[in-house]
């Protein structure tokens, strides 16, 4: 069914990929978990909190949170201002931007003790929450039009080349299953046919579910084929597991390539619309923040 040499030649590349990602992912999961825990704890404890926005630690948290949100503005400056182009790698600035975009608003939530106050404070708070949520949405769109969070911008040609390679890797593994080959052919035809932006956008959840379901079905079928093959050829358990891991990795890579290729132009449009909205929201936040600081120090 498959050439084991080809399998293992490729598995080094895949293993490298797999070992690179887990620690990165763990960092993101821990940061997300910590942020959620901090928000839930603050919400839960708000009636028992001794923090006051006007003085002491509550006041300091407001200054640090606001400062963090001013600092994160350095990322777009680093990206767009020529004289800053040699100020360290972009991906570090971007990572810092996203972290400060979460830490800053959390500190400000502690500053206001997770409660509403005067009209000017509420407007500043709402603006901050809107911009931070918008940032999270932007992060999602960003990964759809880039290779990961810190990679290059994706081009349709680059994606089609990647898809060809990924299909080639998978091709060796599905060649003996005509049913799987047919399913994949049908899926690819459906996904890659040109589609209207609004139709593609409204069918996003359905496309997601269809892809997940088909990937699961094919994975199941290929695993059972491999088990039969293992019994026939007396593979040891480790060899079988290596084959299965390889197939699953290639299958996931293939599905993600097809989805990314088919949705690229839609997400590029969504990302550019998001950019147009996010910047004015940022300026609205700055304005509301300044008004808030001036007003609370005047009265
Ligand atoms: C209060 C918090 C935040 C503020 C004030 C803020 C502000 C900004 C600004 C001014 C830009 C540049 C927009 C442009 O160039 O058109 C930007 C871009 C961006 N921000 Fe934020 N942001 C915040 C939070 C976040 C968060 C929490 C995330 C994600 C975790 C995030 C992800 C992004 C992304 C993906 C971009 C686009 C980057 C690019 O195109 O190069 N932001 N943000």
Cα of 175 to ligand 1 centre, how many Å? Answer: 45
For the stretch 177-232, pLDDT in tens is 778 888 888 988 889 888 889 999 999 999 999 999 999 999 898 888 888 888 88
**Distance (Å, whole) CA 198 – CA 204:** 10
Mutate to test the pocket of ligand 1, among 97, 108, 129, 274 (most ligand atoms within 8 A of CB): 97
Lowest mean pLDDT among 9-13, 100-104, 283-287: 9-13
What count of other Cβ atoms lies within 10 Å of the Cβ of residue 144? 16
Full 3-state SS string of 119-179: HHHHHHHHHHHHHHHHHHHHHHHHHHHECCCCCCECCHHHHHHHHHHHHHHHHHHHCCCHH
Listed by start position, the domains of the chain span 4-8+154-265, 22-152+274-298
Mutate to test the pocket of ligand 1, among 107, 146, 282, 290 (most ligand atoms within 8 A of CB): 282
Closest C-alpha to ligand 1, atom 25: 135
Cα of 5 to ligand 1 centre, how many Å? Answer: 46
The answer to whether residues 250 and 86 touch, using CB atoms and an 8 Å cutoff, is no
Closest C-alpha to ligand 1, atom 23: 101
| Type and span of the H or E element at 217 | helix 204-233
What count of other Cβ atoms lies within 10 Å of the Cβ of residue 163? 20
For the stretch 5-63, pLDDT in tens is 333 334 334 434 444 567 778 888 999 999 999 999 999 988 887 888 888 999 999 99
Six token digits for residue 277: 């909205």
Closest C-alpha to ligand 1, atom 19: 135
User: Given CA atoms 288, 289, 295, 296 in this order, what sign does their dihedral have?
Assistant: positive
Q: What is the DSSP letter of 55?
A: B
pTM of the model: 0.83
pLDDT of residue 20: 52
Protein residues whose CB sits closer than 6 Å to any atom of ligand 1: 69, 72-73, 76, 79, 97-98, 101-102, 104-105, 128, 131-132, 135-136, 138-139, 142, 275, 278-279, 282, 285
Cα of 43 to ligand 1 centre, how many Å? Answer: 25
């Amino acid at each position: 069914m498959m050439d084991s040499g080809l399998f293992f030649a490729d598995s080094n590349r895949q293993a490298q990929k797999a070992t690179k990602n887990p620690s990165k992912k763990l960092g993101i999961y821990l940061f997300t978990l910590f942020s959620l825990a901090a928000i839930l704890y603050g919400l839960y404890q708000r009636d028992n909190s001794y923090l006051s926005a006007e003085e002491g630690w509550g006041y300091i948290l407001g200054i640090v949170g606001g400062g963090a949100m001013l600092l994160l503005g350095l990322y777009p400056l680093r990206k767009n201002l020529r004289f800053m182009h040699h100020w360290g790698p972009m991906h570090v600035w971007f990572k810092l931007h996203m972290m400060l975009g979460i830490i800053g608003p959390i500190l400000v939530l502690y500053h206001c003790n997770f409660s509403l106050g005067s009209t000017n404070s509420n407007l500043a708070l709402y603006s901050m929450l809107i911009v931070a949520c918008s940032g999270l949405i932007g992060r999602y769109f960003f990964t759809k039009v880039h290779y990961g969070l810190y990679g290059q911008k994706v081009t349709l040609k680059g994606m089609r080349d990647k898809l060809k390679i990924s299909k080639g890797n998978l091709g060796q593994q599905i060649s003996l299953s005509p049913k799987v080959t047919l399913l994949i052919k049908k899926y690819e035809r459906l996904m890659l046919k040109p589609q209207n932006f609004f139709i593609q956008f409204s069918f996003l959840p359905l496309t997601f579910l269809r892809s997940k379901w088909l990937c699961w079905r094919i994975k199941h079928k290929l695993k059972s084929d491999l088990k039969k093959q293992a019994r026939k050829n007396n593979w040891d358990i480790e060899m079988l597991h290596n084959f299965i891991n390889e197939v699953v990795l290639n299958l996931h890579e293939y599905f993600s390539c097809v989805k990314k290729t088919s949705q690229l132009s839609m997400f590029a449009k969504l990302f550019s619309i998001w950019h147009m909205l996010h910047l004015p929201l940022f300026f609205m936040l700055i304005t509301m923040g300044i008004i808030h600081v001036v007003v609370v120090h005047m009265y």
